[in-house]
Amino acid sequence: MKVIANWKMNLPTPDIRSWTENFYSNVNLDDSKTIGVAPPFTHISNCVTYLQNLRVGAQNISSRDLGNNTGEISASIAKDSGASFVILGHSEVRENLDEQSSLINKKIAIAIEKNLSPVVCFGESRESYENGITKDFVCSQLKECFEGIKAETIIIAYEPIWSIGTGITPETNEINEIHNTIKDYCKNHLKFVPESVLYGGSVTDKNCKNLITGENIDGFLVGGASLDGNSFARIVNNCF
């Protein structure tokens, strides 16, 4: 079971102290729980210092290794600053930076090469959901992004775009079914078994108890509700 906080472009440094205090005074942690936090790049090393027993990750990396790539962060640099995983293919990056599957594919490859565990995001638009083509859409994203990848420790996050930040989620059984499709597709067509398939999109301390009852739902990638240490601690507590 894994729960990962994606802080996106939030939480300026002074708030990290209060997040940490709120989180640790409320959370019940033990060895069976793998909890991660992906802060903005500039806070990674600070988080490694403050967040005991949590894994710290990056929200993106360059598709290239070290070199003249102004404004980019390589897998090696992210790892040097203390990241142990990286979120790739988030729909906000796909949209804001016009990131295509071929680029995500290169990023997954370099993350694996540099021992940074990839957490790769997939998900459909509202239109695709309403047209009933979610499974086909997600499988074609999987095919493009994992082309030629030999993977052992891949985490997949299913994040329907229409659920991110909207307070609306699919039903637990719908998510469970998509996760089942993702696991089948990876096993039968891509020849790897994902380490976990997480769900992301408007997860809160209220709805996570119900969502986690889906047998194929292995954990969560949490945006807005992870920005408050109390609320993220309640999600962690309610999921195990």
Give the max Cα distance, the chain. Answer: 48
Note whether 164 binds ligand 13P by CB under 6 A: yes
Which segment (17-25, 60-68, 109-117, 201-209) binds ligand 13P by CB under 6 A? 201-209
* 85: number of Cβ within 10 Å: 23
Query: Which DSSP category does 29 fall into?
Result: -
Nearer to ligand 13P, 113 or 145 (CB): 145
Minimum separation from the CB atom of position 29 to ligand 13P (A): 21
Q: Record the tokens describing residue 19, joined without a space.
A: 């997040």
Minimum separation from the CB atom of position 39 to ligand 13P (A): 13
Nearer to ligand 13P, 128 or 223 (CB): 223
Among 62, 81, 117, 202, binds ligand 13P (CB under 6 A): 202
Q: What is the per-residue binding string for ligand 13P in 207-226, x denoting contact by CB under 6 A?
A: --------------xxxxx-
Q: How far apart are CA 182 and CA 193, in angstroms?
A: 10
Look up 159 and say whether it is catalytic: yes
Using an 8 Å Cβ cutoff, are 171 and 136 in contact?
no
Among 35, 58, 190, 203, binds ligand 13P (CB under 6 A): 203
On the CB side of 32, CA atoms within 13 Å amount to 7
Q: How far is CA 58 from CA 4, 23, 41, 74, 131, in A?
A: 11, 20, 6, 10, 34
* Residue ranges that bind ligand 13P, judged by CB under 6 A: 6, 90, 159, 164-165, 200-203, 221-225
